[in-house]
Amino acid sequence: MSLLSHILLVALGGGLGASARYLTNLAALRVAGPHFPWGTMIVNILGSFAMGLLIAALARRTGASMEVRSFLATGFLGGFTTFSAFSLDFALMWERGDQWHGLIYLIASVVVSICALFAGLALVRAVA
């Protein structure tokens, strides 16, 4: 399968995943209200759980196609939540015995990402 075909699979899966994230957030907003980011939390937890199921299932199945992984893992779950990819990266480091780098990755990704968001907010507010 060509690179372009994989890109199309990722794009299709990503669009469907992003749409599922949007609908999940809408449903959570309607059910629980706007005072806590329930939708984001639900998406992150469900996406991470689904990534675990998918990767474990693909690992057990010999000859699992890259097309399936491209569409479901990178595309759909990546569009649904990139937190699932982050969770998988951390789990892989942890399971291969690289806990130190896993913890650095965990802390740096969360803390630095939040700091980067605040930096972006501050930059736009300073310019505006």
How do residues 52-109 score in pLDDT, each as one tens digit?
899 888 888 777 788 988 999 999 999 998 788 889 889 999 999 999 999 999 999 8
pTM of the model: 0.77
In a domain, 33, yes or no: yes
- Other beta carbons within 10 angstroms of residue 97's beta carbon come to 9
Please enumerate, as own/partner, the contacts of 61-67 that have beta carbons within 8 Å and a separation of 24 or more: 66/1, 66/6, 67/1, 67/5, 67/6, 67/9
How many domains is the chain built from?
1
Is residue 7 situated within a structural domain?
A: yes
Asked if the structure places residue 35 within a domain, the reply is yes
